[in-house]
């Protein structure tokens, strides 16, 4: 039996294999009018095709819990019923092909209010139709306007927005919800001392800097069914200096292990381990599997299941990650954009079976 195609059960949810689709922003939601932030036919086709392709879990891209929590005006949102209804079509389609429907809830923080990457990705000011970005401290991201420093009352409002979006995700038919705590967005910017210069209960010490992340997780967990899992995506390092002693060294792999223990106690069932995104000038040593050791460190120190992501492209490579015990699942990003049927082809290469749509049954061979 291929490790990559063994089911995995988290809480009471069984996911048919360990080839998962990572959340990737498509910047294709409705950008104006009553359907602002709503999923479109593109999302239905894009995500359902990966489920038909045999991917065990398909995760919808970063979905803003508030209008000002979007990266761009073209991002998905989940702060109203119209958005919920549009996403319900997507979740139903994913499930209809035997895959698990997951969604990542997000707030872009100080990296909000930009053009989509295909239009250059530049910040959009309030005067030009954008909105005021928010953050733990008024420290701008590279080339962006200074964000508004959230008050304690505003922080509580964002926490509530995550819980409200989780309720809508459940009503829309999603089986997994993930809190986006990575890539320099709001939750991550609270965690790292590079971006969090607060002196109140949400800044300073490690315990204070993780407070917002834990409050978000606890609020989501409180409204999410006990039988269904909650994930958390982390940037395991800011890719500054892992061993130095001042705040310029940012968030480190050791910090991530400490955070993972607290997240596990708060009800997180899997840590989705990425890296970077906080500092535009960080030098990231990208290479096949370069983020896997961070997932391994968390798994070994805590026993918390982890997902490995980042330049995982080859079936044998993915299989080895699992058989080595380096992670519990693999998440594919750009490789699944290139090849929606990667899971079926990987199963064939590994002499395993993937879950084909029943409509395709007449072409499925003995090794599929």
Distance in angstroms (rounded) separating the CA atoms of residues 46 and 298: 32
2, 330 Cβ separation under 8 angstroms = no
20, 308 Cβ separation under 8 angstroms = no
Distance in angstroms (rounded) separating the CA atoms of residues 52 and 355: 8
- Tell me the average pLDDT across 211-232: 98
Check: pTM over 0.85? Answer yes or no: yes
Catalytic residues: 185
3-363: what fold? TIM Barrel (3.20.20)
From start to end of 22-90, where are the E strands? 57-64
Distance in angstroms (rounded) separating the CA atoms of residues 272 and 232: 6
| pLDDT grade for 365, boundaries at 50, 70 and 90 | low
Sequence-separated (6 or more) residues with CB below 8 Å from residue 75: 25, 27, 29, 37, 61, 62, 63, 64, 108
Q: Helix or strand or coil: residue 330? A: strand
Q: Please give the distance of CA 304 from its chain centroid, rounded to a whole number.
A: 17
Cβ-based neighbour number of residue 71 at 10 Å: 25
Sequence-separated (6 or more) residues with CB below 8 Å from residue 60: 23, 39, 43, 47, 76, 87, 90, 101, 102, 103, 104, 174
Percent of all residues in the chain with a pLDDT value above 90, rounded to a whole number: 90
| pLDDT grade for 244, boundaries at 50, 70 and 90 | very low
Closest CA to 16 of 361, 246, 348, 329: 329
Per-residue pLDDT at 298 exceeds 50: yes
Lowest average pLDDT, out of 44-48, 239-243, 293-297, 358-362, goes to: 239-243
The total number of residues shown for the chain amounts to 368
Closest CA to 61 of 79, 43, 73: 43
Predicted confidence at residue 1, as pLDDT, reads: 83
Strands 134-135 and 148-149: parallel
Q: Helix or strand or coil: residue 249? A: helix
Sequence-separated (6 or more) residues with CB below 8 Å from residue 345: 315, 339
217, 169 Cβ separation under 8 angstroms = no
Closest CA to 62 of 161, 141, 150, 177: 177
| pLDDT grade for 115, boundaries at 50, 70 and 90 | very high
Q: What is the pLDDT of residues 67-83, one digit of tens each?
A: 999 999 999 999 999 99
Closest CA to 224 of 163, 158, 140, 312: 163
Per-residue pLDDT at 178 exceeds 50: yes
Q: Helix or strand or coil: residue 30? A: coil
Strands 148-149 and 306-309: unpaired
| pLDDT grade for 245, boundaries at 50, 70 and 90 | very low
Closest CA to 78 of 180, 155, 150: 180
Beta bridge pairs of residue 9: 14
| pLDDT grade for 248, boundaries at 50, 70 and 90 | low
């Amino acid at each position: 039996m291929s490790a990559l195609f063994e089911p995995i059960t988290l809480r009471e949810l069984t996911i048919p294999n360990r080839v998962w689709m990572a959340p990737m922003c498509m910047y294709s939601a409705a950008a104006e009018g009553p359907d602002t932030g709503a999923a479109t036919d593109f999302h239905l086709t894009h995500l359902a095709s990966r489920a038909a392709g045999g991917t065990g879990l398909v995760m919808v891209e970063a979905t803003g819990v508030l209008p000002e929590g979007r990266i761009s005006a073209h991002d998905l949102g989940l702060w109203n019923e119209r958005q919920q209804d549009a996403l319900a079509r997507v979740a139903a389609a994913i499930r209809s092909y035997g895959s698990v429907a997951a969604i990542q809830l997000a707030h872009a923080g100080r990296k909000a209010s930009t053009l989509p990457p295909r239009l250059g990705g530049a910040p959009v000011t309030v005067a030009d139709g954008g909105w005021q970005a928010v953050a733990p401290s008024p420290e701008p991201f590279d080339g962006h306007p200074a964000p508004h420093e959230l008050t304690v009352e505003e922080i509580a409002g964002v926490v509530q927005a995550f819980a409200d979006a989780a309720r809508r995700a459940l009503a829309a038919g999603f089986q997994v919800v993930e809190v986006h705590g990575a890539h320099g967005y709001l939750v991550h910017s609270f965690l790292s001392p590079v971006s969090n210069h607060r002196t109140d209960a949400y800044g300073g010490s490690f315990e204070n800097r993780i407070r917002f992340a834990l409050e978000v997780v606890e609020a989501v967990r409180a409204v999410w069914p006990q039988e269904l899992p909650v994930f958390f995506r982390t940037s395991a390092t800011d890719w500054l200096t892992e061993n130095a002693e001042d705040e310029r060294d940012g968030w480190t792999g050791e910090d991530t292990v400490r955070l993972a223990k607290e997240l596990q106690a708060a009800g997180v069932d899997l840590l989705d381990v990425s890296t970077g995104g906080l500092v535009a000038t960080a030098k990231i040593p990208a290479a096949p599997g370069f983020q896997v050791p961070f997932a391994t460190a968390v798994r070994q120190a805590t026993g918390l299941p982890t997902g490995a992501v980042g330049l995982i492209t080859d079936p044998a490579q993915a299989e080895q990650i699992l058989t080595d015990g380096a992670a519990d699942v693999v998440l594919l990003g750009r490789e699944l954009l290139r090849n929606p049927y990667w899971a079926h082809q990987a199963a064939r290469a590994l002499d395993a079976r993937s879950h084909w749509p029943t409509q395709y049954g007449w072409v499925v061979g003995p090794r599929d």
